Structure 1
Amino acid sequence: MGNTLNVANIPEELRLLLELVKIENNKDILKRFNKKEIDWDLFLDLTWHHRLFPVLYPKLKKIEEQVPPFVLKTLQAKYQENTIHMLQLTATMINISHALRNNQIRTLFLKGPLLGLELYGDISLRTSSDLDFLVPLEDLGKVENLLISMGYVKDDYFQSVLGDWKWRHHHIAFFHQKTNTKIEVHWRLNPGPGMEPCFNELWERKRTNLITGSPINLLGKEELCFFLITHGARHGWSRLRWLLDIKYLLNQELKWSVLSKLLKKYHYLHLGGQAIILSSQLLGVSIKREMESLIRGTRAQILAQESIFYLERMVNLHTEPLPDDIARFHKKHLYSLQSFQQKTLYILSIMYPYPTDLETLPLPKNLHFLYFPLRPFLTVWRITKKTAYSRRAKE
């Protein structure tokens, strides 16, 4: 399968973690590593960063005589804490699903405890910090009112000009202080601009999971794979948990004609190839005949190699501000992920007014259409002002 990924610069502790995740029979794994040279504190940091401790703890428990006691004790505590959290999140998911259904709001849960059941067979084997679900855009106001009535507070606010939030953003967060639960309500799978299946398309192919007897709607398997591939790629596969999700999903029965059609229709075939290459070379997924068409050529291989950058540096994209070198690389990588059509949409989107235009020159709402012809001038004004400010700061 093409070229082998260059992983020469990833730390030895990450190699150990990958081997533990890759192989089911772990009995002799540590014999391949010099245990005296393993930085077990770094190993623990990596298991937390990549959110893989729930999967690793049961494996290391089987060979506990080969692992320092403090490592196993730390993983055990994290594993137990996560199990309790996932049970609480499951109860919250059932409660919210029931409330939405009673209000005739169609809902598709995206991640959370359902992924633990669907992919790992056990909610305790996967982490999830919050609940994500998708609703039709036209029902967003109803969902917000319902969540507020249930004690949730909106945790996300963004300015918008001429309704650009509908396609520039893709979710809004809510937080419940008493239960310490975060919810992300999606109206798109991914932020725009970009094309993706509409809600009705996803709803037509939904599945229903009867968790604890309560029906929960979720994406069809191929649509779930589409979502996990695009989500993981957008985050540089910087957390291996997302890649492990792909591994478990690829090992299930998928309708590859449906998945390939989805990826091709929305210009993501190269991201499908990237995910397959990474999951194969890092996590040992067997390449099936149906996957081969996605990994032909060099583009998927190049994108897969670029993702190793995030693993080498243990990049956390959720911690801002990012170091300058990482921010530059990530911006360039996101652009390289886009197809020609997506790049065209992105360039066109730059011409659409931004909230910064509103800050630069406040206009009444009925005159917001003027931001279209004014945008180039406002952009030049901001750049000029910023340059002048930098010069004064240096003097």
Structure 2
Amino acid sequence: MTAVALVASSFLPRTGGVEEHVLHVARRLHAAGHRVAVWAVDQEDEGTPSVLDGGIPVRYLPAPLPARNVSSLLSFARSSPRAWRAWRTAFRADRPDVLHVHCYGPQGPWTHALARRTGTPLVVTGHGETFGDAHDVFGTSALLRSALRRSLADARAVTACSSYVLADLEARFGLASGSGTVVPNGIDLDEPGGPRPAWLPQRYVLAIGRAVRTKGFDLLLEAFARADLPDDVRLVIGGDGPEVEALRAQAEHAGIADRTVLPGRLSRPEVVTAVSGALALVAPSRVEGFGIVVLEGWRAGVPVVVTSRGGPPEFVDDGRTGLLVDPEDVEALARAVERVVGDRELARDLGAAGRAEAAAYSWERVAEDYAALYP
């Protein structure tokens, strides 16, 4: 069996698609007999775990990167020796046979350097960070762009959550055409929910994710305001982020503040419960690498309305397992929401087909796909 370090740009207690992906892959690889450690970029959040169930170690490592100014270069020169010692200590403690980078960020160049110094095989997995990052880090950092190119060239294997993500790595970062492998996201088919939150309406359309521009929640708010829906139907947008107050102001301006619920970040039990009771789940991203939230809706048997921009068209069968729509066409998005709320036969059929489809996206399958690429 293989000893693997899953090296993530972010991990618990933060929540999101990458954090969920790495958590479940770590658990499934461990259950299959592999020796697993999770390494993540150092963070100031309270409650960072040092070990996962089953004894999987979690280590938070400094990953400073220099910018093109004197003060930043001096700061990097001061901090990099301590950072390197932390990475070498983690390597000696966990003795990985493979270093597997998820969602390339500051940890990417450090992992690559460690792989080269120790002769350890490198695997790189893209989650759409090259185009979906809220701060457009790959558009602003020449250092990170060049580092990713070098890592892709040296990697033993490159995977991505969709062909769309692989195509971006090929077009902009030099990945050899056809050399990458698609390993999709997964879903825990038996994840339990929690008590129904007091803030949850009786009838509602739901969206979940980090409140950033790429997620398109502003487009959904506009579409909801235009849609011809029963007065008792509410819009719930679950998640925190820099756009929350702007969304609140937009709802007020559109005259739907009393029909819009913005509860902030949801716990995993709250996500499961909220999804299971929704009239529809909408993923209106301006671009999406995969769309793990689609699997949340499928698992619950809830009809999904999904962006046609990015990875979702690769696995959502339009009209059968969901409705695909360009969210920039707000009128079309409004009509799609109207359809799934107003046509309960359509909603039932979409939900049933989605639930059947979800079984193909187990985390066991994801872990097995990765393990097949390890030395």
TM range (shorter): under 0.3
Question: More strand per residue: 1 or 2?
Answer: 2
Kindly name which structure, 1 or 2, has the bigger radius of gyration based on alpha carbons: 1
TM-score by length of structure 1 reads: 0.25
Structure 2 length as normaliser, TM-score?
Answer: 0.26
